[in-house]
Structure 1
Amino acid sequence: MKSLLFFCLLLLCGLASAAPPNVLFLFADDMRSDSLGALGDPVVKTPNLDGLVQRGFIFTNAYNLGGNSPAVCMPSRNMMMSGRAYTRWKDYLPVGAPEARRGKMSPGDGPNFPLSMKDAGYETWHFGKKGNSANLIQAKFDHVHYLEQDHMDRQHGEPGREIIDGAIQFVSQRSDTKPFFMYLGFSNPHDPRVAAQSYRDLYVEAQMPLPRNYLPVHPFDNGEMMVRDEMISPWPRSQIEIRRTWRDYYATITGLDAQIGRLMKVLQERGLMENTLILFSADQGIAIGSHGLLGKQNLYDHSAKAPLVVAGPGIPKGKSAALVHLLDIYPTVCDLVGANQPAGIDGISFKPVILGKNKTMREALLLTYMDKQRGLRDVRYKLIRYPQTGVTQLFDLESDPLEMQDLSLQPELQERKQTMLKKMAELQAKLGDDLPLEVAHPRSPSWKIPTPDEIKILSSKWKMEASHGHRAGGPPPFPVQKH
């Protein structure tokens, strides 16, 4: 008995004196939740991130709360860094900014990710894409670096190379007096997707599988049929074009994985891996042919969900279907490293789920997209509401994870639908989202493929990022295909 007590005391002393872990946070752009080999994609080659998944804890239901802009990545990253829903700053306008920027960026007041980590004794370092997170929050990092131009990082063939080069230099030259918190905000695999030929050669375009929920055209007007992302390729979505896009997507992910592998190798060589907490996630997913859509301006799982993997000291290997918002990452990391829990935020720590103390976190999640879509995800069902057209969708995600069978008109599910609409309104009120779920005069949800002249007029407002072929800057000069 005495020897057992002595052993326990030694263990407790060891834990108490253990150095706080370093934190490496890898954050991708437009990464579907299943777009890693170890997360279920049978085609993509991601050996380095697969290794992280295989030793880490996986959350299979990690959702971006939504966005107040077609550039969904912007509100997603702002929410993740502040731990607050974007509805909290809907009236905020930075000094000197045009009115169009009102509510687009989180203010720098209150708690935020870099400030909390700095207060906990961490040296904080950031390198990432420019313009997608609040400058007043990014300024709280000890070291802040931005890509000179996001689109150039996406075109030189080695996705993420500039960011990883900087991270390796930081790790190699820093002193060890403090633990580090490193946040790498990649601009990949967002389009334009240009990968070196060595990555492209791993994938045969004609053999790329179509998404299992592929459709040539979305069945109704979701409110954003003519947004920039949806105009990258013509309608109906041809199988040839979708396969080509998936090849580009996979090759870019493999290139990003290779760069991440370079950093992992340096951490291993410098003896830092064993005491580094590593998180991998993304701002949201993307459609690429699923449901007849290309972009992320929708609330289907392929676009609203993101991968979320946590690995490192004290993290057991495991998997959870708990409902998580990406803005939960900030308070969770604070919880895992012993930093003070931030007050007054919407995110909650999922550490109890990782440690097996809780199986769930929330009974339901609110999902949003501008003034066009609202969604509610509970343990089994998802409801999507389109207020401007009066359309409602209801999916049973247990039997229909691809969200292809709309059950909203099934008589036996009318009570559930009304219950979910009521819960949606409750969560809206809780988060300060004042969008009504009904309008006085909804428009028709029918939609037809626009003519070339209509496309030219409507697309003139979008300045598309440079890419190969028809994805060059300006309106997409694609021929409109007929049914």
Structure 2
Amino acid sequence: MRIRIATVIVLLINISVFYAQEKPNILFIFADDQTFESLGAINNPEIKTPNLDRLLEQGTLFTQTFNQGSWSPAVCLASRAMLNSGLSVWDSKNFDKLSNSEGKDKVTPWSLLMKNAGYDTYMTGKWHVRLDANKLFDEVRHVRPGMPNQTNKRYARKFLENEPDTWSPYDTSNKGYWKGGKHWSVVVADNTLDYLRKSKEGENPFFMYVAFNAPHDPRQSPKKYVDMYPIENIAVPESFLPEYPYAEEAASGKDLRDEQLAPFPRTEYSVKVNRQEYYAIITHMDAQIGRILDALEQTGQIDNTYIIFTADHGLAVGDHGFIGKQNMYDQSMRVPMIISGPRIPKSKQIHEMVYLQDAMATSLEIAEVKKPNYVAFNSLLPLTKNSNKKSKNQEVYGAYLDNQRMLRSKDFKLIVYPTIGKIRFYDIKNDPNEIRDLALNPSYSKEVKKHFKKLFSQQKKLRDQLDLSSVYEKYLNNF
């Protein structure tokens, strides 16, 4: 009898190991400050992203992916709090108070949900969440801060076309990404490759959270990458402005750190140099992503691994007079989102409206984990399986502090500046660069009213307490 019981126990253990091995791996790759318009094969012939292009060929691209906003000037802080908690923007503000490293409170962090589902969890790179990463993952390597150190010398650049520059993105003495002797993007890739070599021998599937600081400033990369982008080949955005008219009222003006990376008023040359360095660090990061994809293939794990690539928000880099991301224009709110893996369609594009924080819910469905009730975001897998499937978000909401609100549908965008009672309205379908403000055009008043009402509905849903009624009444009084 004891022999039979022992045999059954061994059999059950073997079965559990078999199913653990069959469960797919999940590799989450996270960029920082990468706008949607930075994919060479899709929307920007100026930039070289051969490995993201390769991932596009292997998977599905969500072309309308947005960040939900921020309660902090450090937009990445709010974005990552939403991502790792599943909470919507205003609820995520207190994520650290709702959760702990044991996941026993009201909110269980993403990594612990994966661990509880039988995954070996790993993290490297930028964290910037108000919880200790070392307590949330099985293995952690090189946790980085919100950004590499930025020097006064970088802020002091004059960007004068006919004078020598005072700062170089490939001068390693400027520290930043070079601090420690090896570029931080290379360190992230090295760490990831090391873990992939070990994981192929593991009994459990892995959940890897691989977070680059790139392409956040200081945008530094080796000289050969900067040389790929001669200034004379860099275009200025069609939406270029020397200064945005409501920047100060929007809390995105001269006092904001991000906006001090180019002089006021903006010059075309200063924007070109910033974009040159932005493209270079993206291409350098892309090369590291290529090393990771190669390692997945070389270790024989690619066929059983889902890859989710996205960024925490976009970046203006000269769009509408902004350099940073604290605004509601698509360049700053919209990001790449690529998913590849078993049964994910290849070379497909989906144009439904989604949030980047849907990455968490997507991974839970892949891992066959029931989504907790508090998770406000949705799995993207149903959209990949059914071309006729509609997103649960037919419009997306955006916010920045109490100074900006946004409602974006497929065809239109409403931006509200509450502190001055000002609105802007764009016909995205016919004006994708958001140049012609139609807020006071009587032909669009019906759409403006409709989008205001949708914004009010989103505010209620997301527990946004900001009262916009006076702004709406002021608009109605114009007609």
TM-score (norm 1): 0.81
Look up the match of 1:251.
280
Helix, strand or coil at the partner of 2:414: strand
Look up the match of 1:394.
425
* Distance (whole Å) between structure 2 residues aligned to residue 126 and residue 336 of structure 1: 19
Look up the match of 1:57.
60
Q: CA deviation at 1:319?
A: 0.9
Q: Determine if the alignment matches structure 1 residue 139 to structure 2 residue 168.
A: no
Look up the match of 1:72.
75
Cα-to-partner distance string for 1:327-375 (whole Å, 9 max, x where unaligned) = 2111111113322222222111121111115133322211111110000
Q: Structure 1 residues 382 and 202 mapped into 2: Cα distance closer, same or farther (>3 Å)?
A: same
Q: Determine if the alignment matches structure 1 residue 154 to structure 2 residue 177.
A: yes
* Distance (whole Å) between structure 1 residues aligned to residue 29 and residue 400 of structure 2: 25
Q: CA deviation at 1:258?
A: 1.0
Q: Structure 1 residues 176 and 350 mapped into 2: Cα distance closer, same or farther (>3 Å)?
A: same
Q: Retained in 1: the 8 A contact 2:240–2:320? A: yes
* Distance (whole Å) between structure 2 residues aligned to residue 430 and residue 359 of structure 1: 20
Cα-to-partner distance string for 1:151-207 (whole Å, 9 max, x where unaligned) = 156246745111111111111123320110101111110000111011112110222
* Distance (whole Å) between structure 2 residues aligned to residue 31 and residue 359 of structure 1: 26
Q: Give 1:79's aligned amino acid.
A: M
Q: Structure 1 residues 108 and 247 mapped into 2: Cα distance closer, same or farther (>3 Å)?
A: farther
Look up the match of 2:413.
382
* Distance (whole Å) between structure 2 residues aligned to residue 53 and residue 155 of structure 1: 30
Structure 1 residue runs of 5 or longer lacking an equivalent are: 1-15, 96-105, 443-483
Q: CA deviation at 1:137?
A: 6.7
What does residue range 274-313 of structure 1 map to in structure 2 within 5 Å? Answer: 274-313=303-342
Helix, strand or coil at the partner of 2:26: strand
Counterpart among 29, 34, 51 of residue 31 in structure 1: 34
Q: Give 1:358's aligned amino acid.
A: K
Q: Give 1:193's aligned amino acid.
A: R
Structure 2 residue runs of 5 or longer lacking an equivalent are: 1-18, 149-174, 474-479
* Distance (whole Å) between structure 2 residues aligned to residue 261 and residue 333 of structure 1: 22
Q: Retained in 2: the 8 A contact 1:159–1:259? A: no
Look up the match of 1:335.
365
Look up the match of 2:253.
225
What does residue range 12-51 of structure 1 map to in structure 2 within 5 Å? Answer: 19-51=22-54
Q: CA deviation at 1:238?
A: 0.9
Q: Report the more deviating stretch, 363-372 or 137-146.
A: 137-146
* Distance (whole Å) between structure 2 residues aligned to residue 387 and residue 403 of structure 1: 20
Q: Retained in 2: the 8 A contact 1:114–1:138? A: no
* Distance (whole Å) between structure 2 residues aligned to residue 18 and residue 425 of structure 1: 47
Look up the match of 1:432.
463
Look up the match of 1:165.
190
Q: Structure 1 residues 26 and 93 mapped into 2: Cα distance closer, same or farther (>3 Å)?
A: closer
Q: Give 1:224's aligned amino acid.
A: S
Helix, strand or coil at the partner of 1:321: strand
Q: Structure 1 residues 81 and 75 mapped into 2: Cα distance closer, same or farther (>3 Å)?
A: same
Look up the match of 2:452.
421
Q: Structure 1 residues 124 and 17 mapped into 2: Cα distance closer, same or farther (>3 Å)?
A: closer
Helix, strand or coil at the partner of 1:422: helix
Look up the match of 2:227.
201
Q: Retained in 2: the 8 A contact 1:284–1:306? A: yes
* Distance (whole Å) between structure 1 residues aligned to residue 104 and residue 418 of structure 2: 29
Q: Retained in 2: the 8 A contact 1:108–1:136? A: no
* Distance (whole Å) between structure 1 residues aligned to residue 373 and residue 431 of structure 2: 38
Helix, strand or coil at the partner of 1:309: strand
* Distance (whole Å) between structure 1 residues aligned to residue 134 and residue 433 of structure 2: 37
Q: Structure 1 residues 148 and 78 mapped into 2: Cα distance closer, same or farther (>3 Å)?
A: closer
Q: CA deviation at 1:148?
A: 5.2
Q: Determine if the alignment matches structure 1 residue 365 to structure 2 residue 396.
A: yes
Q: Structure 1 residues 93 and 216 mapped into 2: Cα distance closer, same or farther (>3 Å)?
A: same
Look up the match of 2:379.
349
Q: Retained in 1: the 8 A contact 2:20–2:118? A: no
Q: Retained in 2: the 8 A contact 1:27–1:282? A: yes
Q: CA deviation at 1:262?
A: 1.4
Q: Give 1:135's aligned amino acid.
A: L
Look up the match of 1:262.
291
* Distance (whole Å) between structure 1 residues aligned to residue 90 and residue 336 of structure 2: 24
* Distance (whole Å) between structure 2 residues aligned to residue 331 and residue 148 of structure 1: 25
Q: Structure 1 residues 187 and 65 mapped into 2: Cα distance closer, same or farther (>3 Å)?
A: same
Helix, strand or coil at the partner of 2:81: helix
Q: Determine if the alignment matches structure 1 residue 88 to structure 2 residue 91.
A: yes
Q: Structure 1 residues 274 and 153 mapped into 2: Cα distance closer, same or farther (>3 Å)?
A: farther
Q: Retained in 2: the 8 A contact 1:223–1:388? A: no
* Distance (whole Å) between structure 2 residues aligned to residue 148 and residue 408 of structure 1: 43
* Distance (whole Å) between structure 1 residues aligned to residue 95 and residue 380 of structure 2: 29
Helix, strand or coil at the partner of 1:31: coil
Q: CA deviation at 1:306?
A: 0.8
Helix, strand or coil at the partner of 1:33: coil
Q: Give 2:120's aligned amino acid.
A: E
* Distance (whole Å) between structure 2 residues aligned to residue 373 and residue 309 of structure 1: 28
Q: Structure 1 residues 73 and 138 mapped into 2: Cα distance closer, same or farther (>3 Å)?
A: farther
Q: Determine if the alignment matches structure 1 residue 114 to structure 2 residue 111.
A: yes
* Distance (whole Å) between structure 2 residues aligned to residue 153 and residue 24 of structure 1: 26
Q: Retained in 1: the 8 A contact 2:85–2:95? A: no
Helix, strand or coil at the partner of 1:182: strand
Q: Determine if the alignment matches structure 1 residue 125 to structure 2 residue 122.
A: yes
Q: Give 1:31's aligned amino acid.
A: Q
Q: Retained in 1: the 8 A contact 2:242–2:265? A: yes
Q: Structure 1 residues 392 and 138 mapped into 2: Cα distance closer, same or farther (>3 Å)?
A: farther
Q: Report the more deviating stretch, 386-395 or 420-429.
A: 420-429
Percent identity between the two aligned chains: 35
Q: Structure 1 residues 181 and 92 mapped into 2: Cα distance closer, same or farther (>3 Å)?
A: closer
Q: CA deviation at 1:438?
A: 5.1
* Distance (whole Å) between structure 2 residues aligned to residue 155 and residue 236 of structure 1: 30
Q: Give 1:181's aligned amino acid.
A: F
* Distance (whole Å) between structure 2 residues aligned to residue 361 and residue 57 of structure 1: 18
Q: Retained in 1: the 8 A contact 2:86–2:376? A: yes
Look up the match of 1:186.
212
Q: Determine if the alignment matches structure 1 residue 214 to structure 2 residue 214.
A: no
